[in-house]
A and B are shown apart, each in its own frame.
Chain A
Amino acid sequence: MAQVGALILVLGALGFLVSQAGDNLRARSIPTGFDFIEQPPGIQVGEGIQTRDFETGGRALWVGMVNTLRIASAGIVAATVLGVIVGLARLSHNWIVQKVSSVFVETLRNIPLLVQIIFIFTVFTTLGNVSLDSGPIHGWLHISNKGLSVPRVFGLNGSFQWLAFMAIGALVARWAHHHQVRKQEETGQLGYPIVAAGGVLSVFGIVGWFAHPVMGFLGPVFGLIADALDGLPEETLQLILAVLSIVVAILWIRRFLKSMSSGGGRAKLTDDDWFRMIFAFAGSVLVAFAVLVVWPGLSSWLLNSGRDFFQLLDDRFGSGNGGRPFDGKRPDIVKPGNFANYGPAGLTLTPFFAAVFFGVVLYTAAFIGEIVRGGILAVPKGQTEAASAIGLKRSQALRHIILPQAFRIVLPPLGNQYLNLTKNTSLAIAVGYADVVQVGQTIYNQTGRTLPVMAIWMLFYLACSLTISVVVNFFNVRLKLVER
């Protein structure tokens, strides 16, 4: 009773608000359609895979999304590395290392991230103009008000062939590693698994550097796959997708029911369980319906992009015979207009990117440091004692006993920090880094489509959050300590 009442109340309130908003929108004739996604937006963005002359607004937003993903993923990696170092330093026996790291943590996590980002940005903008000697390491590292430029390593066409070589190398290295470990376990002699694997990999790397054209044969193979995809009729894929979705749902329900029943019979299903099963099945039917009827374009889009992908591989593997697979260049300075700027040769972090990147990385690293420290301290003291009582050395105890358990404790809050970091990159708007929020804002200022742009933002971030949670949860479940 109460539930239904509350539901009606909530729905009523929502309906009231939405109808009110609809009236107001109509009254002020504010456009709400998503048509801007299809139309050229007539805007420029600061940086990204494309910066001007967008064919559609969707493309411009996509550039913003890629920028967000780029900064978030780089930030996650950097913040993790720095955070782990800080966390270990907090536990160091060296007084000064410990003090420095605790000052780092206490300073950074008590100042709002936005203030830090703006401060870093301001520092960049007050630096001097680009000039030949604007760097501490002449010719290699440049810092100026246009950002930070370092030498760049980039792949030529042969790099694909070289990477194929390395893939085989990785397989062999894995085998060598496995072999050495087994040898150690079986005979008790000290093996060298890491040395062996590294050696195999470097041998493949060096040989591949010269012999990579051998892999050119892969090109035509990919070409064949592309042709096959091209020949596949759209309806077939539609059918396959629809059937697949329903089959997956049924399999999941079967497994779920199985997990609920034991030798003595099936446990009583709660409302929740029913809800889940019905939801899963309804979802799969919905997907099938969407694939078949609502949005048949999806299958052809999948087919086309699959074909394009393999054709691209065909091209890449076919060309670039001979020559180096990789090359590197030092930063260069060009002067297109009145002011000098960095050219495309070096890897340049714009002040916008650098401010957001260093801001979120330092800030998140302070939190991750505390999490790592807490995780290690949270492993019960008895575990360390038991490890030393059976004769393990400190390093062995750390590797076999402390760290595996600390990692389990650390994982959920760490995942939370990754979520926070991703969401915090949206502060880019304060310094004008072209992330999805900033691009979106430019678009709605241009077109007045505030509501749809905001919906796209929220969906995008929800998708990111969901992905991170799913990944973290996956590991969390797999690593969970077995209890009765």
Chain B
Amino acid sequence: MSDAASASVRDLSGATNMIECEGVSKWYGDFQALNSVSATIKEQEVVVVLGPSGSGKSTWIRCINKLEHHQEGRIVVDGVELTNDLRNIEKIRSEVGMVFQQFNLFPHLTVLDNITLAPIWVRKKPRGEAESAARALLDRVGIPEQADKYPGQLSGGQQQRVAIARALAMEPRVMLFDEPTSALDPEMIKEVLDVMKGLARSGMTMIVVTHEMGFAREVADRIIFMEDGMIVEVGTPEHFFTNPTEDRTKLFLSQIL
């Protein structure tokens, strides 16, 4: 843990903006889930979102993928603004990969079919090409031997790694992780985090909602702390973990560490 703090702080000042959010707000009935959230994520940047449960972290990244509709503000992904136009949404979704807390693998398809489904039907790739790409991805996440099994036959950690491979198969430019390790047994968390670390090192733009402080410290370029639907504090891991400025951040850290 101690050497994690010395993680490389990369210089991304020259990189282009990948995601821009400006004053994004969202209500569920009377309840305000997001309160004017503004943030910019640069290309190749790894951002970890922290915060107590119910603070709007998941809602925010689900808005970026248009799984939820925001009601105010604007979200621009790779220069394209999210509107209600269907074609627009499809384009964004094929550029933004998403990994869910509950994996959401398709139980009636084999691991290989889970991964190749979208490349074949959305990207119109030939099956052979899609399959060899899928096998390469399975190799990369460390489970090449499970290709022909069904999700129900795999452990949680293996399922989540398949889910990552499935998202990567669309060759996204951004990956969103919605608490990817929260549904896993402790001994499986590491295998998933290792895959994510490798992904970060390869230069993928990532937004990760997680409770894994070690991962945040080691991998994140920036940490965003949210509470009650608002961004409370933004900073480098070093700044965040050693001398946070906001009281609420301090309170959160004292409870969790």
Touching chains A and B, CB distance < 8 Å: yes
Q: Across the interface, which residues of B come within 8 angstroms of A38, CB to CB?
A: none
- Residues 99-124 of B at the A interface (beta carbon under 8 Å): 100, 102, 104-108, 117-118, 120-122, 124
| Residue B203 interfacial (CB < 8 Å) | no
B153 engages A386 (CB within 8 Å):
no
Q: CB-nearest residue of chain B relative to A183?
A: B126
Shortest CB-to-CB span from A116 to chain B, Å, is 37
B98's contact among A187, A389, A400, A404, by CB below 8 Å, is which?
A389
- Whether B69 sits at the interface, judged by CB under 8 Å, is no
Contact mask for chain A residues 369-399; partner B; CB cutoff 8 A; 1 contact, 0 none = 0000000000010110111111111001000
Q: Select one of A186, A380, A396 contacting B127, CB under 8 A.
A: A186
Q: In this assembly, does A190 line the interface, its C-beta being within 8 Å of a C-beta of chain B?
A: yes
A-B contact count (CB 8 A): 89
Which A residues between 466 and 484 are near B, CB-CB below 8 angstroms? 479, 481-484
Are the CB atoms of A483 and B105 closer together than 8 Å? no
B108 pairs with A391, CB closer than 8 A = no
Interface size grouping (class) on chain A: 20 to 34
**What distance in Å separates the Cβ of B168 from its nearest Cβ neighbour in chain A?**
10
Distance between Cα atoms of A482 and B113 in the complex (Å): 14
Q: What is the distance, in angstroms, from A381's C-beta to the closest C-beta of chain B?
A: 9
Contact A392 B121 (CB under 8 A): yes
- Indicate whether A102 reaches chain B with its CB closer than 8 angstroms: no
Q: Is the CB of A482 within 8 A of B117?
A: no
Per-residue CB contact flags for chain B residues 68-108 toward chain A (1 = under 8 Å, else 0) read: 00000000000000000000001001101110101011111
Range class of the B interface residue count: 35 or more
The reply to whether A392 and B67 form a contact with Cβ atoms under 8 Å apart is no
Contacts of A405 in B (CB 8 A): 106-108
User: Is B117 a contact of A390 with CB atoms below 8 Å?
Assistant: yes
Pair A390/B107 contact, Cβ less than 8 Å = no
A185–B120 CB distance below 8 A: yes
Q: Is the CB of B241 closer than 8 A to any CB of chain A?
A: no
- Shortest Cβ distance from B11 into chain A, in angstroms? 31
Contact of A483 with B153 in the complex, beta carbons under 8 Å = yes
Q: Please, which residues of chain B bring their CB within 8 A of the CB of A393?
A: 90, 122
Residue numbers in A under 8 Å from B128 (CB-CB): 185-186
Query: Is A229 interfacial (CB-CB < 8 Å)?
Result: no
- The verdict on B137 contacting chain A, using a C-beta distance below 8 Å, is no
Chain A 409-426 residues near chain B, CB threshold 8 A: none
**Residue B167, interface by CB 8 Å:** yes
Across the interface, do B124 and A190 meet the contact criterion of CB distance under 8 Å? Answer: yes
Q: Let me know if A408 is at the binding interface, CB within 8 A.
A: yes
Q: Check B152 for interface membership: any CB of A closer than 8 A.
A: yes
Minimum CB distance partner of B99 in chain A? A389
Give the contacting residue for B104; candidates A385, A391, A482, A483; CB below 8 A: A385
Q: Which 3 pairs across A and B sit closest by C-beta, in order of nearness?
A: A185-B127, A386-B104, A482-B150
Q: Can you name 7 A-B pairs with beta carbons within 8 Å?
A: A185-B126, A185-B127, A187-B126, A188-B129, A386-B105, A387-B106, A391-B170
Taking Cβ atoms with an 8 Å cutoff, the residues of A that contact B are 185-188, 190, 380, 382-383, 385-393, 396, 400-401, 404-405, 408, 479, 481-484
